[in-house]
Chains A and B, each alone.
Chain A
């Protein structure tokens, strides 16, 4: 079982719609959860982090964490073509190291 799992996609959503990206993790002792955006050929850019169960909102982005079910999600409201990228879920486990999922490719269509 992979430590951090994401559907590779592509996830295609029309412009203006809500994009929902999901991630599950295996280490129940994980403490911190991150979403990074990576454009093709570029390095990851931090979008959000979440530590506690529930929702955390920042502009058009909402991160949701459910530790009991070991999943974290990212919602992008009013999706724009510029949101088209690969979204990486990352988790800090008991060893305090970041473990990345393989990413979900999002395509926002006009």
Chain B
């Protein structure tokens, strides 16, 4: 499988601030990465598909101006939660797919965000 890292693993911030989460593909070049969010005892929900060199594709109901995604290189995608609010507190997980088409996906360790 693919090796994926995320940073930070845990972050606590004040309401109104912005938080950047990094996702790195460590053992292959990923033209596509995926960002998910998981609330307690809920399923993973796809937020957006991050595409290297182009704009991310957001799922219905996900505000693209609030959740900024940048995929500047083949190994790094970042998710910035802007003007965070307590309801944004969640477990954010990225994934990569070696095939690039969203088939078998390997997940990073996740970032737990708590907005006070």
- Rounded to whole Å, the gap between the CB of B10 and the closest CB of chain A is 10
Given contacts A43-B93, A92-B102, contact A98 B46 (CB under 8 A): yes
**Count of A interface residues, CB-CB < 8 Å:** 20
Given contacts A102-B42, A102-B43, contact A96 B103 (CB under 8 A): yes
- Rounded to whole Å, the gap between the CB of A34 and the closest CB of chain B is 7
Is B103 touching A45 in the complex (CB atoms < 8 A)? no
Is A44 touching B107 in the complex (CB atoms < 8 A)? yes
Chain B residues whose CB sits within 8 angstroms of the CB of A46 once the complex forms: 1, 104-107
Is B107 touching A88 in the complex (CB atoms < 8 A)? no
Which chain A residue has the least Cβ–Cβ distance from B110? A43
Chain A residues whose CB sits within 8 angstroms of the CB of B112 once the complex forms: 41
CB-contact partner of B103 in A36, A41, A42, A92, under 8 A? A92
Mark B93-116 against chain A: 1 for CB-CB distance below 8 A, else 0.
Answer: 100000001111111111010000
Give B residues with C-beta under 8 Å from A: 1, 34, 41-46, 49, 91, 93, 101-110, 112
Known contacts A32-B103, A41-B112; 8 further A-B pairs (Cβ under 8 A): A42-B110, A43-B107, A43-B108, A44-B44, A98-B46, A98-B102, A100-B44, A102-B42
